[in-house]
Amino acid sequence: MYINGVMTVGEEVDKSRRYFLVTIGSAIVALGVGYAIGRVTAPAKVTEKIVTKIVTTTTTRTETVPATGTTPVSPTPTPTGPAGLSGVAARAVQGVKDLINRGVVKPGTTMRILHVAGSRANLEKAIELWSKYVPEIKVELITLGQEPDVYNKAMQEAVTKTGTFDAVTIFSTWLGDLVEAGLAKPLDEYYSKYDPGYTGPCAPITPLRDYVTMYKGHRYSLVLDSDVFTLSYRKDLLNNPDYAKEFESQYGMKLKVPDTWEELIKMAEFFTNLKLKAPSGGRVWGAYFYAEPRFAAYITWLNIFIEAGGIPFDLKTMDPKVDSPEGRYAFDVMLRLKPYMPPEAITASWADLYDKFIKGETVFTAAWPSLTKEAHRPTSLVKDKAGSALMPGVEVEVGGTKKLVKAAPNPVNWVVIVSNYSKHPELTYLFFQFATAPDIGLEMVLQGVILDLFRRCWFTDPKYRAKAAQGYGEEFLDVYMKSIEISYPDLLIRGGPEYLAKLTTEVNAVMAGTKDPEAALSDVAAEWDSITKKYGVDSQLEAWKSLAQLFPEDVKSVWKAKGYM
């Protein structure tokens, strides 16, 4: 440093050293303070302990139960509860009373549930009913705006382990990630202790019941929802005798609800070429199936691929099997459909498909059950004009004979997991057993938009069906129950969202014409392989083998016939 032209070296060095010491000192103090804060705010330590439990079926089994210090494993409570409730809900209420009586849970305890804004009305209904029977236990909702926010918060909790919330409602697609990250608590013990009604005539419909709750053979979630796709179509156009006559003369086949994708392509072509005007004033397109870049494009491709007998991964090696004749066929169908779909199918967000259908601008489309709800609203331009059917299938040659395979995608599907870092995991589980019971669950599902029917008795038992029909219409209920029976899961293994995101990107690129199908399939296979290797082939294979067993029987029979299974 120069002062009046004289360099003051000693002071410069002294100042530098002082600054250095201050900085280092501050860093050490900051680290110390940070460490102390971390220690003070650390969540309860999770310990693994071995518990031998007598199950009511008189079999003795040894389970590994991760338990927090505040929740000892309790004996099976007597399954009696308040009158007027279903057995499932009554057992949940009785279970809570028992926990309170034994001093495991104190009256006034509050549970916190992390969930997405769209399910708030549903959960509020469940809480309202809960407070009638268990007023001493409060439930608080932590509401997040968007689905990815929930995933991010859940994953952050897996890392930080704060115990901020007791349960989180998630897409079943995330289950593998959240189990492996250590956030999802195994629920086998609670299932056997309290029986959530997963067997019998009112159980959630199989195979959905199992594939959205199980991971590597264990239960980690409770079903909150079903998200199975159905085919929606303009009934008024399909039933029009003039169009029927014209179609038959052009294509030599009857105009009807299409059984296969091949039939659907012809009908989509026919209606697109008619250049009809929609009730909204816009143009009528023959079809609209997801091909957009953000997340949904995989749904259409995977549906055709699965129906054609494709299997995502080899069951012996975990090698991706998407670069296959079934994969090429799926692209072939989608590309042949493309001219009859609005261009927005490739660019707009997923909600655009809903918008176009309820404006009457598409003849055939496929989406979640909420599309049917939207189509039935008074503001819909296709109210009373919309029909529902099973997804179109693919004719597969098995052992020399042709077989029509129909399968329905079940993308996302909300479930609830109990946090491993919850101070009240058993209590939290019981709230959700109550909320998803046959009687309470139906009330909850019908309250909002994003949750849908999943228990069989809601479709078959007249006392429940009448209520359900008010929300969906009679025709849809029959179609939807059958659709759940033929539904298949997302890739519910670790990295599921990542596998599907890569697939969506490539499907969108092919549909936009920026990539050819061969290159896209090759890239998907390469990227899937690298994801598998990232998580470990053995671990992924174990998860995939378990999941593959939970696919619908028709699909598995083709896999067996092709030697894939």
Partner 1 sequence: MTDRPAPRSIKILANLPLNALLYAVLIIPFLLMIYLAFLKWNPAGGYEWWRAPLIGLANFHKALHDSRFLSSLGRTIAYVAIVVTIEFLLGLLLAYLLLEKFPGKKLAIAIIIYPLMLPPVVVATIFYLMFQDYGPVNNIFLRSIIGEKALGIHWFLRPDTAFISLIIADIWQWTPFIFLIMYSALSAVPKRLIEAAQVLGASNFYIFWRIRLPLIKPLIVIAIVLRALEAFKVFDYVYIMTGGGPGTSTETVSVYIYRVAIEYHDISYASAMSLIVLLLIIIVTRIFIWYSFERGGR
Contact set with partner 1 (CB under 8 A): 18, 22-23, 25-27, 29-31, 33-34, 148, 152, 155, 158-159, 176-178, 180-182, 282, 292-294, 342-344, 346-349, 494-495, 497-498, 501, 505-506, 508-515, 531, 534-535
* Torsions phi, psi for 4 (to 5 deg): 50, 40
Closer to partner 1 by Cβ: residue 392 or 495: 495
197, 205 Cβ separation under 8 angstroms:
no
Is residue 144 within 8 A of residue 103, CB to CB? The reply is no
User: Is the Cβ of residue 47 or residue 57 nearer to partner 1 in the bound state?
Assistant: 47
The single-letter DSSP state of residue 384 is T
Considering only CA atoms, which of 438, 480, 486 is closest in space to residue 463?
438
Q: Give the residue with the Cβ less far from partner 1, 383 or 533.
A: 533
CB closer to partner 1, 38 vs 241:
38
**Shortest gap between Cβ of 343 and partner 1 (angstroms)?**
4
Nearest approach in angstroms of CB 512 to partner 1 is 3
Minimum distance from CB of 425 to partner 1 (Å)?
A: 18
| DSSP 3-state of 225 | coil
Backbone φ and ψ for 115, nearest 5 degrees, come out as -155, 170
- Terminal CA-CA length for the chain: 79
User: CA 510, CA 88: separation in Å to the nearest integer?
Assistant: 48
* Strand locations in 172-327 (E): 214-215, 218-219, 221-223, 230-234, 285-288
245 vs 534, beta carbon nearer partner 1: 534
Q: Compute the radius of gyration of the chain from its Cα atoms.
A: 27
Nearer to partner 1, 53 or 294 (CB): 294
DSSP-assigned letter for residue 172: G
Shortest Å distance, C-beta 182 to partner 1? 5
Q: For strand 401-405 and strand 394-398, is the pairing parallel, antiparallel, or unpaired?
A: antiparallel
Nearby residues of 78 by Cβ (< 8 Å), 6 or more positions away: 94
The H or E element containing residue 471 is: helix 462-472
Nearer to partner 1, 111 or 521 (CB): 521
